Structure 1
């Protein structure tokens, strides 16, 4: 009886002790849980799935407005269309279409070899000739495997699988801002989509270059204008690692090729932005960044990121005379109001070239892991 009572008391004390350890451990864990942030080095350490929030007055960025060339390389090979192959018998076939490959798919591997370029895929196909090839395909973030056999195209004297494909794209836009301490940059304010599939281009990597504007096509009602620019490999100043719905982002590798007419400035949350006068920084003449007058016509309250945060209107006489307003290539031009960066130009209205949309700067910063 006494032994049973002792055993019972031992169990009770053991239970109390375990509960004490669990409660103490939980309390200590909570005291140190959360996140740490080193603003000087722009380093985030996120724990327990908490999102870092930094007071907007502590964020300093340098707005640019520099014209840039952009070159992106796709993650895998993007399928943009089908191409029928004519055989000796006169039949027109597309082995890829028959195998179930769809427009918008990305070809990731062929016979377990990672595909890095159109040229590499062409070599793999022609080395295999008419032998079956196993493809790994990415479709809507899902891995799919298909098998198909190339056929010989008499006209081209080569084996083909019946696809139009793309491994890269290039264009001209505007650098929005960069952060000197972290050497990170953001540009465009909207995604780079594939021109054929109109879907977000999933990228492996890319580069940004300083660009020279060589001509301007004025915007008119029903026909958006365009800045035409050129750039070369030697003008590279940054590496792109993200293509998102809120722009492109990456790291600077050559500060000497970055343009800016402003020093470090604060940023405004959407609650601080007012309808009324503002400025944009953009480059339309030989790489010279200039400040132009605009009006923020409407502020759209947004609870989640989007590239149509504000409606803006160009009021600057010089800019209207030279471009007609907002033109293609000006995407990413930073907007300044009350000595703070508030956003960036993203779209032009087709029937009102003097008007367009802009994105809040906070949405662009969020893509860099900075929440204000």
Structure 2
């Protein structure tokens, strides 16, 4: 299992993956919260394909007199998302490479997105030492990892998880979603967290598909699901924001197999910023969870938190230098953000 890079030495999202994540908040949509949902807590495998390809690194080549990066010279930057070349849709690293290889060195019209704006630049590929035409851009077109389901809403037929979005590990930019699927995951072992070094849930994907990923946004992953998954699930009332408070609570997460287990925590402080993905801080107090995991580990993102018999939120981050503590998101923020 390959783990993401930490984008902050003091704070890390709690997702086991080959990508890194950000929890920057975005405004919530208005609307009434559902009264009841089904409790999650089980791990799921995420396979996501991006809408276009994201530039993660620029590379220069020797053009006979000096080193040049065609993409950079033409005005492209890291985090740009290439959508089309000469009017042909770019869907993968392979289609981008083919467009450059087949260019014969002729100018390419590249359409891309930057800061939610669609732009066009002209790029002139050059030959590398092997004689292939390239534009000098390393790109990423897909992501995969393990997270935790927070809840299932059978009224709207969707599930939510993670409590933060999936971002590229090199640029920390939210990955644009073209398609994706969620599958049942099995946890085979736990790498224990220690202060300064968050651990992880280690596991594998099964062949059982939960559903399709429909949205990757800053405060959650959302998708359709097979309703049979809720047949033996507990139905819980959704807490109002006014009911979010400090005190003893319970987190449901999975350290082995696919069956969630309840562990005791304490909510230690509250933020009343309803647009924040960091709605409160929490501390693990359960001796078993501390003994087996050292507190919060990567892969626990989305683990639901229950207080006074109501769903109040989910785990989102672990404090790297104090791994028994972290951030959580109020569940209403996740629900109001669902599109």
Distance between the aligned counterparts of 1:150 and 1:204, measured in 2? 27
The CA distance in 1 between the partners of 2:260 and 2:61, in whole Å, is 50
The corresponding residue for 1:274 is 245
- Residue 345 of structure 1 is matched in structure 2 by 315
Of the structure 1 ranges 102-111 and 125-134, higher mean CA displacement relative to structure 2 is found in 125-134
Shift of 1:52: 5.6
**Is the 1:343–1:359 contact (alpha carbons within 8 Å) kept by the matching residues of 2?**
yes
> Greater Rg, structure 1 or structure 2?
1
Show the counterpart of 2:113: 138
Aligned to 1:284: 255
Query: Residue 205 of structure 1 aligns with which residue?
Result: 179
Moved over 2 A (4+): 51-54, 89-92, 258-262
SS at match of 2:235: coil
Any conservation in 1 of the 2:31–2:336 contact (CA below 8 Å)?
A: no
CA displacement, residues 325-370 of structure 1 (integer Å, 9 cap, x when unaligned): 001110000001111100000001111111110000000000125x
Q: Write 1 or 2 for the structure with the bigger share of helix.
A: 1
Q: Which of the numbers 67, 77, 89 marks the counterpart of 1:114?
A: 89
The question of whether the paired residues in 2 share the 8 Å contact of 1:261 and 1:289 is answered with: no
CA deviations on 1:244-269 (whole Å, 9 max, x unpaired) are 111111211x345x478642211112
Matches of 2:235 and 2:334, distance apart in 1:
17
Instruction: Assess if the C-alpha contact under 8 Å between 1:246 and 1:305 holds in 2.
Output: no
Deviation, 1:53, is 3.8
Give the superposed CA RMSD: 1.8
Say if 2:218 is the partner of 1:248.
no
- What is residue 332 of structure 1 aligned with on the other side? 302
CA–CA distance in structure 2, aligned partners of residues 361 and 131 of structure 1: 52
The alignment covers a number of residue pairs equal to 311
String of CA shifts for 1:177-231, please: whole Å, max 9, x gaps.
Answer: 1112332111100111111011222222221111111221111111111112211
Larger strand fraction of residues: 2
Question: What TM-score, normalized to structure 1?
Answer: 0.80
Could you tell me which of 236, 239, 242 is aligned with 1:265?
A: 236
Residues 46-65 of structure 1 aligned to structure 2 (within 5 Å): 53-54=31-32, 59-65=35-41
Tell me, yes or no, if structure 1 residue 222 matches structure 2 residue 196: yes
CA distance in 2: counterparts of 1:53 and 1:255, whole angstroms: 24
TM-score scaled to structure 2, two decimals? 0.87
Aligned to 2:138: 164
2:122 maps to 1:152: no
Counterpart of 1:188 in structure 2 is 162
Considering Cα pairs closer than 8 Å and 6+ residues apart, tell me whether 1 or 2 has the greater RCO.
2
Mark the CA change 1:359 to 1:261 in structure 2 (over 3 Å): closer, same or farther.
Answer: farther
Unaligned runs of 5+ in 1: 1-50
CA contact (8 A) 2:74 2:124 kept: no
Structure 2 residue aligned with 1:317? 287
Distance 1:267 1:285 in 2: 27
CA distance in 2, matches of 1:340, 1:262: 14
User: Using the alignment, how far apart are the partners of 2:30 and 2:317 within structure 1?
Assistant: 30
Q: Does 1:105 align with 2:80?
A: yes
The Cα shift of 1:80 comes to: 0.7
